[in-house]
Amino acid sequence: MLSADRGWHCRSSRIRRRAASTVFAGLLLALAGVGSVRGTELPPRGEVRALVQALRADPELKTTQLTKVLRARSTAKKRQPAQTTAPWLIRLIRWTEDALRWLDATARWLIWLLGALTVAMVAVSVRRWVREQADPGQESLAPLPSHIGPLDVRPASLPDRIGPHARGLWQQGEQRAALSLLYRGALSRLIHVHSVPIRAAHTESECVRLAQGQLQPDRGAFFAQLVCAWQLAVYAGRLPETAGVLSLCDQFDRLLEPPAPAKAVP
């Protein structure tokens, strides 16, 4: 269809050009006839120029024309590739990129902050270590406890001769009171006389370990035996044998001597 239209357009253009040539030839013949009639005189140049311009202005006589030609064009649209990346993955990638940019911008400040914290911790540790090495006896200068658990271990709360007093309580049938007096008295003598570092929160087993590490073997064994009798009555609810308790009472003031009396000021 398009090729047939194009051929018809070409033939129409040829016809128009032939018609224009014929008209122009006729015009020249007419001018020549006019000149022959007048003799040798030709028409004025201005009239000829005007006629030529009039012929050129005639749209039917133009040798060139602008025409629109139909051309076949593919109507199929190019298919764009479908988006295969999930939206959440795109958001995750963007968030990761933003996080990396933020870390890159703040990494220097984070390194300085961590360095400052490390230096501060090292300084505190070194200061504590120097203080402990410079004054190893600082622990002994701590205030002595007045109570170990619920038990009062102050020397003023105890009799001077703890062994005989505890023996009298046992023979009077006050076995728990006798054992409590022996245990409180032993703790008081270890703290105030033998300088064993017993504190208020120490348990019976911890007190035995501290005493055996600082006392002579016979005194450490005596205190361990006394603690076993105390634990048997308090935790197991059974009283130890009378002979063993009376032996503890007799050895108490010999193995755990009372504090020296204060010198009178003259």
The predicted-structure confidence for 233-251, as pLDDT tens digits, reads as follows: 989 889 999 999 999 999 9
Looking at this protein, which amino acid is placed at residue 201? A
Q: Which long-range contacts (CB under 8 A, 24 or more apart) does 8-16 make?
A: 9/67, 9/69, 13/65, 16/60, 16/61, 16/62, 16/63
Q: Which of 201, 193, 196, 168 is nearest to 182 (CA)?
A: 168
Would the pLDDT of 252 be above 50? Answer: yes
- What is residue 263's predicted lDDT score, i.e. its pLDDT? 46
Kindly list the domain boundaries of the chain, sorted by start residue.
2-61, 147-255
Q: Which two tokens stand for residue 116?
A: 């400052």
* Mean pLDDT for the chain overall: 77
- Overall pTM > 0.75: no
The predicted-structure confidence for 189-232, as pLDDT tens digits, reads as follows: 999 999 899 998 899 999 999 999 989 999 999 999 999 999 99
CB 256 within 8 A of CB 220: no
Would the pLDDT of 130 be above 90? Answer: no
Would the pLDDT of 112 be above 70? Answer: yes
Looking at this protein, which amino acid is placed at residue 179? L
Looking at this protein, which amino acid is placed at residue 131? R
Give the dihedral sign, CA 41/45/50/51: positive
